[in-house]
Chain A
Amino acid sequence: MTDDTQIAVDVRDAVKRYGDFTALQQISLGIRDNEFFTLLGPSGCGKTTLLRMIAGFEDVTEGAIFLYGDEIETLPPHQRPVNTVFQNYALFPHMTVLENVGFGLEMLGQSKAAARTRAAEMLELVQLSQFASRKPAQLSGGQQQRVALARALAPAPKVLLLDEPLSALDQKLRKAMQIELKHIQRETGITFIFVTHDQEEALTMSDRIAVMSAGELQQLGAPRDIYELPRNMFVADFIGDTNLLEVTVDEVTECRAACSLDGGLTLSCEAVEGVRKGAQVHLSIRPERLVLSETATGADSLRARVLENIFIGTDIATLLVLDNGSEITVRTSNSERGSKRIFDAGQMAFVTMERGAARLLRD
């Protein structure tokens, strides 16, 4: 974290326990001002708990939370200048769309008229002006979602919290909302903290991602870093598709590590700090960074037999089995079909890793 960017939300050694169960173990992270920050992890990893602690719906068992320098973890939710978009929207069923959006402003002491004006502006932002006088139940899921967003944005919060807001939408609407959310975030300049279990969504939308598992922070970084330089098995496996190979490190020179696989196969890759000679570790290699060829293109090419080809729209996934019996997947972009050969099932081919693509994992 650099000193010149302001920290919006600073979570310091936050612990959350429910009786004997520890939901969050000593999480510390700083969320920068004006950032689209994502908490990513499988269900039960503690991401929603952390979000709810920032909103004030859950007590902090230990540790502290600062909002732009002010300690807030003891304040009740209605005194925290943050707003939440709830997973199932939680729109007030007895109020119109306009009343829903204006509710926060009214509670902040604005006059009804002023709240209405601002609420109407917010509805314009989410393109729902024509539905202002409807009741939430008369709207589609996507429209309700946008009302929830407008309602949370209306009081101009310092930080907007979004708890899996897109999970109830269908694929297509979801993609459209992802773009719209990102757009609104940039336009308003509000810090967004977004919770999701969908790694693709996290990669598309975020400035930075905190990957969580079992109540612990696994890795914090920009989407690209997390995708290309996963720190451990969990992150490598959870983010995107990957091939995990068990290897033994034979030799570590300055920046390369020579590794051997079962069955006498060998290959080399970039060394990673903390992985020493003799260590038995996993090597992660993304399927799209493997190349298939008829002949070996170097010392690191591995011979394999094609099991099958799977067509997945933009790509073709080729499933192969190495000489030592491990399976490996290679993804070839469909646009490259002309320049690259597609091997049929049963044929032999050589698999080569792109330089710098393989990553040794510490655990």
Chain B
Amino acid sequence: MAGGAASSGSTASDTYAGARHWLLMPSWFVLLIFVAAPVAMMLVYSFLTKEFRGGVIWEFSLGAYDQFFFDRGLFGDDPPQIDWTYINIFWRSIWQAGLATVLSLLIGFPTAYFIATRPERSRALWVFVITIPYWVNLLIRTVSMKFLLRDQGPMNDFLIWTGVIDDPLRIINTNLAVQLGLFYSYLPFMVLPIYAAVERYNFTLSEAAADLYASKWATLRRVLLPAVKPGVIAGCILVFVPSLGAFLAPDLLGGARNFMIGSLIEEQFKGNAGNWPFGAAASMILLTLVLIILMVFARQQRRMGDMR
């Protein structure tokens, strides 16, 4: 992701030196419209003053950030104290997203390994099977999941019918439901990069490890995992980042107690109750967090690159 663009430029031949500038124009254009402009807009809005019916007054203010981090009492004239409300929401979101990432990794890695070790012809079919559920819109999938998981839903009915349980499991409106929702939403983003990495892995290395007395577990830990690490990191980021900002799964499956960043931001822009500068500020804080995570990843990648 982050490392790729930087390294490829220097190797380009000079034959197209004149044209390169023009050939790159579409990419610059897309980046400008879809990345730079929205982020700049959000940055500007986060420093404006809120209007009560949504929208903004064009007047510079640090109010949004102040509201995020500090509590100044009901009338705003108490000495500032750190307000944990929003920080806690962020913290819970990071924790939830992290857990969803770990869960996806635990299921996704064996799945990816399984697909990558199938005969070449059936691999494409397996990848295809993995992606089929994602042809359906995320909202519809999440609503269906709510229906499946609820107390009188098909899953509980089935479990009671088989006699595994006597009373319906309370899954809906719990952390577990949010986890299941996130896991189901983003699993392919974990499976696909790991699959790509394992497919490129030279399995003779595993044989060499076994030949040198490494058990299956030692081979996994000492040889396979280090070799496919870039794929694992990419998969984790691809699950963690959208999970962090997700609002469908927490909203629909988690109920009010499992409020996450995504929902917090969404609320600020919805209807008349919103607070645009505050939503923009929360978005900027989220963006900064994600950027820090990506930079850590990029540095890791560079270190791996040096080793090669």
Q: How far is the CB of A6 from chain B (nearest CB, A)?
A: 23
Q: Given the complex of chains A and B, what is the CA–CA distance between A33 and B308 in angstroms?
A: 40
- State which residues 202-241 of B face A: CB under 8 Å: 202, 204-205, 207-215, 218, 222-223, 226-227
**B6 at interface (Cβ–Cβ under 8 A)?**
no
Q: Given the complex of chains A and B, what is the CA–CA distance between A148 and B204 in angstroms?
A: 13
**A38 at interface (Cβ–Cβ under 8 A)?**
no
Q: Assuming A104-B213, A137-B308, is B227 touching A86 (CB within 8 A)?
A: no
Q: How far is the CB of B200 from chain A (nearest CB, A)?
A: 12
Q: Given the complex of chains A and B, what is the CA–CA distance between A93 and B215 in angstroms?
A: 19
Q: Are B307's CB and A84's CB within 8 A? A: no
Q: Assuming A92-B205, A93-B227, is B212 touching A76 (CB within 8 A)?
A: no
Q: Compute the total of residue contacts between A and B using a CB distance below 8 Å.
A: 69
Q: Are A135's CB and B212's CB within 8 A? A: no
Q: Given the complex of chains A and B, what is the CA–CA distance between A91 and B208 in angstroms?
A: 8
Number of B interface residues at 8 Å Cβ cutoff, please give it. Answer: 20
Q: Assuming A88-B204, A90-B202, A90-B204, is B214 touching A103 (CB within 8 A)?
A: yes
Q: Given the complex of chains A and B, what is the CA–CA distance between A84 and B208 in angstroms?
A: 7
Q: Mark B186-211, 1 if CB is under 8 A from A, else 0.
A: 00000000000000001011011111
Q: Given the complex of chains A and B, what is the CA–CA distance between A84 and B307 in angstroms?
A: 25
Chain A CB within 10 Å, residue with most, of B205, B212, B214: B212
Among candidates B209, B215, B226, B307, residue contacting A103 with C-beta atoms closer than 8 Å: B209
User: Which residues on the A side are within 8 Å of B218 (C-beta)?
Assistant: 107
Q: How far is the CB of B42 from chain A (nearest CB, A)?
A: 40
**A108 at interface (Cβ–Cβ under 8 A)?**
yes
Q: Are A76's CB and B210's CB within 8 A? A: yes
Q: Are A78's CB and B210's CB within 8 A? A: yes
Q: How far is the CB of B109 from chain A (nearest CB, A)?
A: 18
- State which residues 232-254 of B face A: CB under 8 Å: none
Among candidates A78, A88, A91, A94, residue contacting B215 with C-beta atoms closer than 8 Å: A78
**Interface SS majority for chain B:** helix
Q: Are B211's CB and A78's CB within 8 A? A: yes
Q: Given the complex of chains A and B, what is the CA–CA distance between A312 and B227 in angstroms?
A: 48
Q: Are B213's CB and A107's CB within 8 A? A: yes
Q: How far is the CB of A22 from chain B (nearest CB, A)?
A: 21
Q: Assuming A78-B215, A107-B218, A137-B308, is B210 touching A92 (CB within 8 A)?
A: no
Q: How far is the CB of A147 from chain B (nearest CB, A)?
A: 12
Q: Are B308's CB and A155's CB within 8 A? A: no
Q: Are A93's CB and B211's CB within 8 A? A: no
For this complex, 18 residue pairs linking A to B, each with C-beta atoms less than 8 Å apart, are A55-B211, A78-B213, A78-B214, A84-B208, A86-B204, A88-B204, A90-B208, A92-B205, A92-B222, A92-B226, A94-B227, A103-B214, A104-B212, A104-B213, A107-B212, A135-B308, A137-B308, A155-B212
Binding site for A on B (CB under 8 A): 202, 204-205, 207-215, 218, 222-223, 226-227, 304, 307-308
Binding site for B on A (CB under 8 A): 55-57, 76-79, 82-84, 86, 88, 90-94, 103-104, 107-108, 135, 137, 151-152, 155
Other contacts beyond A78-B212, A91-B208, A108-B213: 15, CB < 8 A: A57-B207, A57-B211, A77-B211, A78-B213, A88-B204, A90-B207, A92-B223, A92-B226, A93-B205, A93-B307, A94-B307, A103-B214, A104-B212, A107-B214, A152-B211
The 3 closest A-B pairs by CB, nearest first: A104-B212, A90-B208, A107-B213
